[in-house]
Amino acid sequence: MKTQKLSELAKTIRSKNAGVDKITFDVIFADRAIYERVRASGVLTRETVAKLYGVPDSRISDFVEFAPGNAIKFTFFRLQPSGCAGDPDIFGAQQYAPLLDIEVPAD
């Protein structure tokens, strides 16, 4: 089966702080057809995100498929507050990388 990487299909893949105790992720597509293709493929769901990041479902506070914005968004609870001793990524901006290589089936 032919596939494409999520990074080839999305206009934007990013992560960032969502307050001191959460990191939020945005995967935004340039058009509705690509958004619908990724959404329908099932490669980016609450369950697949939990598995990809090795976190229990209880750490995912939100998972939203936002059709008006052609976006899939999800948010994790941090293990420790942003900026505290031992925090590996104060801004949460380095957490999106595992999403880049997700393989999405071709049409």
**What domains sit in the chain, N to C, each tagged with a CATH number?**
3-81 (3.30.70)
pTM (2 decimals)?
0.92
Name the DSSP letter for residue 2.
-
Contact 14, 26 (CB under 8 A): yes
Question: Rounded to the nearest 5°, which phi and psi values hold at 64?
Answer: -130, 130
pLDDT in tens, 68-101: 999 999 999 998 888 888 888 889 899 999 999 9
Report the candidate in 79, 90, 97, 71 with the shortest Cα–Cα distance to residue 17: 90
pLDDT in tens, 56-69: 999 999 999 999 99
pLDDT in tens, 17-58: 998 999 999 999 999 999 999 999 999 999 999 999 999 999
For the chain, the helix, strand and coil percentages under 3-state DSSP, each to the nearest 5? 30, 30, 40
